Structure 1
Amino acid sequence: MSKPLLNESRVWRGHWWPPGEQDVAMPGTLTYRPDKGLTLELIGGWDTKVWEEVRPGVFETSDSEDSRRWPVLHGLAENREITLLDCLPTHTASRNFGPPDEQTIHVLTVLSGIHVDTADQALFTECHVAVEDLTMWSQSSVISGSLRTKEGRRNGTGYIVTEPVEDPSTIVNGVVTSLVHEHTLPHVENTRGGSVGRMRETRFVRFQPSEPWSLQIAQEHAKMVQDLLSLALNRPCGLLWTRLRMPPEERDYPEGYPIRDREIDLYAQQIVPAEPSAKAVRNRHALFTCEHLPFEEVWPRWCEVREQCLRAADMILGLRYAPARFIEGRLLTATGAAEVLHRALGKVSPPIPADEFSAMRRTLLEHTPDKYRTWVRQKLRNEVTLKDRLRDLAKLPDSEAMGHLVPDVECWATVTTQARNDLTHEGHTRRQSIDEVIVAVKVTSAVVVMNLLEALGVPSERQREIIRDHPELCHTAQQAHDYLASKPSPREPV
């Protein structure tokens, strides 16, 4: 069965109704557009107002926003059950105070192939997720080919073959997670204009939990795959498709009838548009692949790192998924990610030992006038400064790699801290040029990424290769030398 590519628009024409109210089903069209999400356009519609009896025999409508949405709607289109989740009417038209003539409803999520009554039902026994460049990142393929030569020159012959490869698998928290491949058999298509030979391979991650999942858990794991690829390839990677599975319907089947699990396709608006037909990322543009960290090793580590550093990872990857339009926003996000990551890693003790700080705080408060005591109590904090956190983050990954990326740690930490503080307190970076701020943001983001790679266990040799050979990080390191390194003072003339 073909996969529901999320970069392609879809249209379902059918009938739609609230759960348990099929007698009020309305004809309409459900449309999915990758850039706009899901919209249901009904011929007719349902009253969005809630009537309340304010006194005996007298009713008034409520303007509560909660009355203008449906958590779940059901539909039947193309002889397939469809569930619509988080439905909000955006347009309702009627004449002469009668029932709606037409209605437009914005839908957040669609499950094609099932009717569910609530979004939190634990139904799904498998979840399959495909993300851009997953095949390249896996560094393994069933397809191989070669051109033959004779006396050092191509002789017009060659071959393409398929050879089975083992799908790596690992178990994390009772969930069997596998990097699965699918491929078509060799096929020759003869046309009036000639012949074309075709083979296609794709990779996806398959989750097989020990207990059925809800939709939310499945979506969280799909996001984990997307985030891992976006970090590893240093670019936003879009979801290609997500497919869920559940046991077959409980009904009588004819003897010998092939019984298969039910397949449910998941549709939702994507922040990152997928381009499955675009050329794959080149190896040198990837920070790491399964060649550097095998899938069965990197996935358990990613689960641990993401749980420990979720907020920092979300913030730094957010700069790729939905980059801020202004450098000020990028500065606050990058420094915020660095601070949150350092706090999550827990690598530094407070500046003053806790017992000494408590004694000092108590003594200061005893000698503080009553009217200032609250202010002093709020200001006394035994916290590591942003500057200290940046210094420390620069020490954690491979020292040689970080020496190239941040040649002058003190200068970078000072410029970045001053820029963040000035922006926060005064609304502009008065002590740094725009070029210095841009480079500070790029270097800080790179330092956060390198610390995530270190936490994942990316080898030191690979970290050095990244800073030396990766086009973007190599350029960032060069800019750090130009803008964030102390210049020697010119000599006084003799």
Structure 2
Amino acid sequence: MRQCEPQRIRGWFYLPEAPDERVPGILTWEPSDGATLELIGGFSPGPDYQPSPEGNGVYATQIVGDVRSGTIFGESDSGKKLSIWDAQRGSYTAGISGEVREEFWSSTWVCVGAHIGSPQDPAFIEATLEPDELYYLTNDRRFCPPQWAKIAGVENPGERLVNGTQLMPYILPVIGGYHAEYAIADIDGARYSVNTHATRPWVSEATEAFPELKLDMMTRNLRRGRAIELQLGANVSIRLQDEAAGSAAAFVDSMAAVLDLIRLATFSTCDVEAIWLEATNGDQLSLLSLIGEPAAPHETHLPAAIVFTFGDVTLDSFLSTRKSLTEGRQAAFAWSMVIGHCGYSPQFVEQYVSQVLAAAEGFDTWCLRNSGQVELNARLKALHGRLPNEVLALIDLDVNNWADWAVWARNHVAHGGTRRRRFIQDSLQLLAIAKSVNLVTYLVVLAELGVPSEKMVDALRNHPRLQGLLLHCEAVNQIKEMPEPPL
């Protein structure tokens, strides 16, 4: 079950402590909003009646009683077990007597395939994450160039006949199957493995005895004709040291490093197609969660959208550098602010200015450990100075003018105006300041990861989003102080 797709599951639901009190309902999953459980009836008890202070009866302060938040178990009409974690009761309807008629619950994650009491229960031995774009970091080539071939029944290959016939038999070599541990890294008691996979024919005694059966099983018979679809893909699996069991919450936390990798390698959001969990008993379960962004696996990939691959920065190197940059006081928070601006499109210019300047200052202070009493102007210049010469030549920022206006912009936004009365032409220049700061900070992170300078230059020239940021550097160089407007 894929979390990037809407789901609608009918079944019976109950609280784990009251398995005999089952309520019919519909569980829906929306990739951007999470899970909603609509019950016909509900778990809420009747209202709590209190004696009237006047002694002439009883009264209730609410229509129905309170019910605890937390896990809800379910079973779909097809027999699949469901665990809805951290569920919160929302709205409900009830009769005059307090009997619940409808009840609505919401949650951010659902385990499909088992009844697990809590996301903190050590019930799993492996988690597998399928994010968009990961395959393009691997350079694992499974499709080989087509080869012309001799095939029985084609007497004149490549020759055009009088009636227009021209038959050209060929073979498309494919290295199908599953390639485990294309890239591996061990860190913080967990092993991360990038695995690739490619379509392969089904293998069984029947298919080996009747080779045509392999072709039939790979073929879709469409009204327009027959079709065979071949796919390449990649995932990341995570296991704990010594094959120890871990909780869903712990595995989800460990996925943050993978999301960061994809964001930095693409300068975009990390879109997650599916998450699979292997239980301690060997069962394969799926997890619906709001981790990452909803994937779009069928959209077209843009080759220029990849900034670096494992050929430039190994998985082990990335995880090690990430760990060193996020250790210590406030470093993880500052890192998250920088990562959050990969591919981020601001809704409000002032908000964007405030956030990217805070991210730049925090990264220099806590991740690069320049935690002395240093002014923002000096920090920005220090970040700029960490970039390779080839990159500096391409972005071509007037560093003094840039840092000066960036500090002014931060103060202007943070304080709702500044005592130092300066005026720029329009909000587009304010946006250019923010985007140039975002770009410089991102490039510094790439440099810390060890991305070659030629790959950074290539990305600045060709990456669809970085190209746009580069244009704003020249706009910042053109900012000059405007005369104060008349009163």
So what's the TM-score if we normalise by structure 2?
A: 0.81
- Counterpart secondary structure, 1:143: coil
My pick for the range that moved more, 410-419 or 40-49, is 40-49
Structure-to-structure mapping, 1:16-55, within 5 angstroms: 16-47=13-44, 51=48
Do 1:133 and 1:281's aligned partners in 2 also have CA atoms closer than 8 Å? Answer: no
- Give the Å deviation of 1:281: 2.9
One-letter amino acid matched to 1:215: A
- Counterpart secondary structure, 2:438: helix
Partner of 2:310: 290
Partner of 2:197: 182
- % same residue: 22
Distance in 2, Cα, partners of 1:390 & 1:49 = 61
- Give the Å deviation of 1:339: 0.7
Do 1:46 and 1:99's aligned partners in 2 also have CA atoms closer than 8 Å? Answer: no
- Give the Å deviation of 1:412: 0.6
User: Which of the numbers 382, 393, 401 marks the counterpart of 2:383?
Assistant: 393
Do 1:37 and 1:270's aligned partners in 2 also have CA atoms closer than 8 Å? Answer: no
My pick for the range that moved more, 290-299 or 384-393, is 290-299
- Give the Å deviation of 1:306: 4.5
User: Which of the numbers 392, 402, 416 marks the counterpart of 1:402?
Assistant: 392
Cα 1:474–1:114, aligned 2, differ >3 Å: closer, same or farther?
same
Do 2:86 and 2:107's aligned partners in 1 also have CA atoms closer than 8 Å? Answer: yes
Cα 1:449–1:17, aligned 2, differ >3 Å: closer, same or farther?
same
Do 2:398 and 2:477's aligned partners in 1 also have CA atoms closer than 8 Å? Answer: yes
- Counterpart secondary structure, 1:319: coil
Distance in 2, Cα, partners of 1:88 & 1:135 = 37
Tell me whether 1:481 sits opposite 2:474 in the alignment: yes
User: Which of the numbers 187, 193, 197 marks the counterpart of 1:172?
Assistant: 187
Cα 1:50–1:202, aligned 2, differ >3 Å: closer, same or farther?
farther
Unaligned 5+ segments in structure 2 are: 150-156, 159-165, 202-217, 481-487
Partner of 1:256: none
Tell me whether 1:136 sits opposite 2:128 in the alignment: no
Do 1:228 and 1:302's aligned partners in 2 also have CA atoms closer than 8 Å? Answer: no
Partner of 1:376: none
Distance in 2, Cα, partners of 1:451 & 1:59 = 68
Structure-to-structure mapping, 1:69-88, within 5 angstroms: 69-77=68-76, 78-88=78-88
Distance in 1, Cα, partners of 2:320 & 2:368 = 20
One-letter amino acid matched to 1:465: D
Partner of 2:205: none
- Counterpart secondary structure, 1:161: coil
Partner of 1:424: 414
Cα 1:48–1:88, aligned 2, differ >3 Å: closer, same or farther?
farther
Tell me whether 1:456 sits opposite 2:449 in the alignment: yes
- Counterpart secondary structure, 1:423: helix
Structure-to-structure mapping, 1:60-459, within 5 angstroms: 67-77=66-76, 78-146=78-146, 156-163=168-175, 167-186=182-201, 187-191=218-222, 193-210=224-241, 211-248=244-281, 261-269=282-290, 272-282=293-303, 284-307=304-327, 309-320=331-342, 323-348=345-370, 350=372, 383-427=373-417, 431-433=423-425, 434-459=427-452
One-letter amino acid matched to 1:408: D
CA offset digits 1:339-383 (Å, max 9, x no partner): 110011345463xxxxxxxxxxxxxxxxxxxxxxxxxxxxxxxx2
My pick for the range that moved more, 319-328 or 89-98, is 319-328
Distance in 1, Cα, partners of 2:148 & 2:321 = 42
CA offset digits 1:363-420 (Å, max 9, x no partner): xxxxxxxxxxxxxxxxxxxx21111110111111213312422421111100110011
Distance in 1, Cα, partners of 2:477 & 2:17 = 65
Unaligned 5+ segments in structure 1 are: 249-260, 351-382, 488-494
- Give the Å deviation of 1:431: 2.4
Distance in 2, Cα, partners of 1:88 & 1:70 = 5
Cα 1:160–1:298, aligned 2, differ >3 Å: closer, same or farther?
farther
Cα 1:96–1:445, aligned 2, differ >3 Å: closer, same or farther?
same
Distance in 2, Cα, partners of 1:208 & 1:188 = 35
- Counterpart secondary structure, 2:29: strand
Distance in 1, Cα, partners of 2:129 & 2:292 = 16
Distance in 1, Cα, partners of 2:71 & 2:198 = 36
- Give the Å deviation of 1:75: 1.0
Distance in 1, Cα, partners of 2:227 & 2:364 = 55
CA offset digits 1:411-443 (Å, max 9, x no partner): 110011001111212348952232321111111
Distance in 2, Cα, partners of 1:157 & 1:307 = 59
Distance in 1, Cα, partners of 2:182 & 2:131 = 17
Distance in 2, Cα, partners of 1:80 & 1:15 = 11
* Number of equivalenced pairs: 437
- Give the Å deviation of 1:307: 4.6
- Give the Å deviation of 1:464: 3.2
CA offset digits 1:287-317 (Å, max 9, x no partner): 2112222334333333443456432332233
